[in-house]
Structure 1
């Protein structure tokens, strides 16, 4: 009677697997010991780069799995991990191979890390410098939020959207600190100072533009004073100079008011039961306030929408944003036309979509990408729009941002414009 060969094959296979595992473990140990020597010989290039892209990727993948099997990097001190976990800034840990072994979710949103690898060249260079020469590196960095972290425009808005002119994407201004944890690990601390920088920019714009705008009323006042001091006062010239003083003063008041609104619209809204607002109630207030203005311009103002829509927000900011959109629509519409103000739920059921549609002359494609910039004014201004200061749409953009929403425009010359302000519905 012959013994079955199956048990022998199983035993051979088991011993074969054990043998392969032992060989791989030995290879990994050899690589860890040889790698520093190779990196010094290669002038700082990593060992995996020397092996080549494909083989280097396989080595990195094997190391990650090896770490996972050993409780995710036991060499990283537990106290260091605990400290990093409570830091308010975004942080990440990089190993000797340049792989990210720990990362705060903010590091991904800020565009520093993607697929467990650092993607910012300046950060990569700083990590290498610190690993080779020690010390600490501090520098400023500007990044863009990756597309997947940008809130998508709501579906079902009923308009075409020019993604270049939606005006809601902002850069991230970061302060980065890079230092060594120990011989193997490097830590990268990322402090997001974007809100501080934006506030500073608006404050500086406020000071510069108010200073410039003060020149017109002061010059007009000076001319008026000269006329009044003359022995032969000319009443007609006095009235003309007084009119210029009034126009310049009104323009300055308008600009200061808009700048103050822009500064207020910087703090993000935190949803709560205390700031729930019915959207149609806010639109009704705006419609009522602008009804006389529309009538004076021979414009019919229409209001319609879903009265069940509720959002979290600041009532004054939302009303201001909608008011700016409707005022623009009235100013740029032809007499005898109409402006439509409406609110509806998007197809996903997640956004309240506020639309302002006009029958005006439209906006040239070349200008649409700039209309949400502070103090930008289009080329074709009319007598009715001459008093504007170029802050209205910037205020709308910032109100959308602080309410975690978006703003977009569709327009074509001769076909009017449709502005869409989309705000997340209250949960």
Structure 2
């Protein structure tokens, strides 16, 4: 059960006042009691000293009647019991009782103390009178020393009655003080708790979404500082939530207007966000809160989402006769993923149409070009001096067109994804030697040197020998075409289960701004030079696709007139000695 601050403060102050008042009352009563005993003791001692001078002669002269009369008279005057006790304990005279009827007082503590020459004091119960008494005993000295004891006593009832009256007065005074303190405590608790209650109410309204709530206090203390801090916090929250709401509206607008389907999945695969494109795509009614595999059943998408647990994964996914480019990105927390699906069905259809067109056109062009080439070669054999030059030009251009058509058909097959590798173990040294031997005449014609660099122990890779030869042929062909002096170096080696092949030349090089595009088809750094040398503009594109088919990589470094180096990495064969050596 909640207890308000007002109640806690009030009860704390009340408890404090009660404890202090109780301690003060107890201390005062104890002090007054001790003071009363001390005062009564001093009074009895003073009376005893005065009376002892009158008693001493009567005892020395043996006058018991006069002694009894004296102490009885003094007892009535001072309202105290007076007893004269012999040194051996016998009662010689008593103001309230007959001496002969009283027992021996030798063992009384106050008597024992007086017989030693000092004042004796004792508070105890009197068996003779049947009540508590305060006893004060004084020694009586005669010519023979301390021969008797003069004892005076009063009942403690008188002191108790006085203490009772005082206790009543003190209780009344304490009650007044407690009531007054309680009133002050209530006023103080109210003054302290009121601004706290205001802050509490304001906090509740703020938690409910009322960010315009403010608390203005003028207490001049820490509570005012707390209220000012609350107002600053509320102002910042209002601004933050306004900015957040604006950002949310913008994000919702962007997400809803996206043509791509977008899903946000939590760590368990439940859909937490979906735009209208995603709802139209899946068409399964309610999307939010459901598992993604309930909405769309696609093993490809499942595998892609599982792969994207730590890093982005992108691939094409077939769903209901449509093709989607799907990208799955984990959020920074790692507990959610964002799925973006772009419909590329039409793009794929157009690509297929284009590929089919290229293949069909290439087939249609190959036959007449072959015929043109054949007739041109026949005419060249029977040429006359005036037409030979023109026939040679026709033949060269026909050869170039045939090469372009062959490369186009090759590239279309590679891009279609229908090409399958005839994988086998391939010796890199043997492959390089065979390929480089094909360019012997061209190298000799340009007076270029060619060399092979690699380890003595051969490097074995797993791949399609025909495609790998095609790869090296294109790279070496380019190197020969664009190198006028120096030579070509083909090096190979292995590193961390990867085979590395480098084709380096000392040719004219490639400017930096062109390096990013040289693997695009029909891209040429110098188009006029490329046409002059008979290039098709498709060789490096074919190289790129062959490397990708072998799950390898290709990179290029070059500088103008400083030569060019192509670096290819390919996986080693399982039984390669270099693979065993590198673990």
| TM-score, with length taken from structure 1 | 0.52
Shift of 1:215: 9.9
Shift of 1:412: 1.5
Alignment pair present for 1:97 and 2:274:
no
Provide closer, same or farther for how the CA distance between residues 256 and 143 of structure 1 changes in structure 2, counting only shifts above 3 A. Answer: same
Give, in whole Å, the separation in 2 of the partners of 1:388 and 1:96. 56
* Structure with more contact order per residue of length (Cα contacts < 8 Å, sep ≥ 6): 1
Aligned to 2:498: 351
Q: Would you say how many aligned residue pairs link Structure 1 and Structure 2?
A: 284
Give, in whole Å, the separation in 1 of the partners of 2:517 and 2:546. 17
Which residue of the other structure, out of 554, 563, 575, is the alignment partner of 1:407?
554
Provide closer, same or farther for how the CA distance between residues 276 and 213 of structure 1 changes in structure 2, counting only shifts above 3 A. Answer: closer
Which residue of the other structure, out of 357, 360, 368, is the alignment partner of 1:204?
357
Give, in whole Å, the separation in 1 of the partners of 2:407 and 2:367. 15
Provide closer, same or farther for how the CA distance between residues 316 and 271 of structure 1 changes in structure 2, counting only shifts above 3 A. Answer: closer
Q: Deviation per CA, 1:3-39: give whole Å up to 9, x if none.
A: xxxxxxxxxxxxxxxxxxxxxxxxxxxxxxxxxxxxx
CA contact (8 A) 1:111 1:143 kept: no
Aligned to 1:368: 515
Aligned to 1:288: 437
Provide closer, same or farther for how the CA distance between residues 355 and 384 of structure 1 changes in structure 2, counting only shifts above 3 A. Answer: farther
Aligned to 2:477: 327
Give, in whole Å, the separation in 1 of the partners of 2:305 and 2:343. 13
Shift of 1:319: 0.5
Give, in whole Å, the separation in 1 of the partners of 2:535 and 2:545. 18
CA contact (8 A) 1:110 1:146 kept: no
Aligned to 1:419: 566
Provide closer, same or farther for how the CA distance between residues 423 and 252 of structure 1 changes in structure 2, counting only shifts above 3 A. Answer: same
Unaligned runs of 5+ in 1: 1-48, 54-60, 74-93, 124-135, 148-172, 177-190, 228-233
The more displaced of 276-285 and 256-265 is: 256-265
The more displaced of 381-390 and 321-330 is: 381-390
Which residue of the other structure, out of 104, 107, 117, is the alignment partner of 2:301?
107
Shift of 1:299: 0.8
Provide closer, same or farther for how the CA distance between residues 276 and 221 of structure 1 changes in structure 2, counting only shifts above 3 A. Answer: closer
Give, in whole Å, the separation in 2 of the partners of 1:117 and 1:310. 33
Aligned to 2:397: 248
Provide closer, same or farther for how the CA distance between residues 250 and 407 of structure 1 changes in structure 2, counting only shifts above 3 A. Answer: same
Superposed counterparts of 1:258-337, under 5 Å = 258-265=407-414, 267=417, 275-306=424-455, 307-335=457-485, 337=486
CA contact (8 A) 1:99 1:116 kept: no
Provide closer, same or farther for how the CA distance between residues 419 and 138 of structure 1 changes in structure 2, counting only shifts above 3 A. Answer: same
For residue 248 of structure 1, give the secondary structure of its aligned residue in structure 2: helix
Provide closer, same or farther for how the CA distance between residues 247 and 353 of structure 1 changes in structure 2, counting only shifts above 3 A. Answer: same
The more displaced of 110-119 and 239-248 is: 110-119
Unaligned runs of 5+ in 2: 1-247, 253-263, 271-285, 331-340, 575-583
Shift of 1:199: 6.3
Shift of 1:206: 4.3
Shift of 1:258: 2.2
The more displaced of 383-392 and 324-333 is: 383-392
Q: Deviation per CA, 1:256-276: give whole Å up to 9, x if none.
A: 33234334545588789x612
Superposed counterparts of 1:111-130, under 5 Å = 114-115=308-309
Shift of 1:308: 3.0
Shift of 1:100: 4.0
Give, in whole Å, the separation in 2 of the partners of 1:117 and 1:412. 35
Provide closer, same or farther for how the CA distance between residues 138 and 316 of structure 1 changes in structure 2, counting only shifts above 3 A. Answer: closer
For residue 438 of structure 2, give the secondary structure of its aligned residue in structure 1: helix
Superposed counterparts of 1:218-233, under 5 Å = none
Give, in whole Å, the separation in 2 of the partners of 1:397 and 1:357. 17
Provide closer, same or farther for how the CA distance between residues 384 and 280 of structure 1 changes in structure 2, counting only shifts above 3 A. Answer: farther
Provide closer, same or farther for how the CA distance between residues 118 and 258 of structure 1 changes in structure 2, counting only shifts above 3 A. Answer: closer
Give, in whole Å, the separation in 2 of the partners of 1:277 and 1:370. 30
For residue 287 of structure 1, give the secondary structure of its aligned residue in structure 2: helix
Provide closer, same or farther for how the CA distance between residues 303 and 221 of structure 1 changes in structure 2, counting only shifts above 3 A. Answer: closer
CA contact (8 A) 1:303 1:340 kept: yes
Provide closer, same or farther for how the CA distance between residues 333 and 101 of structure 1 changes in structure 2, counting only shifts above 3 A. Answer: same
For residue 362 of structure 1, give the secondary structure of its aligned residue in structure 2: coil
Provide closer, same or farther for how the CA distance between residues 360 and 381 of structure 1 changes in structure 2, counting only shifts above 3 A. Answer: farther
Alignment pair present for 1:339 and 2:488:
yes
For residue 488 of structure 2, give the secondary structure of its aligned residue in structure 1: strand
Q: Deviation per CA, 1:141-174: give whole Å up to 9, x if none.
A: 4457989xxxxxxxxxxxxxxxxxxxxxxxxx98
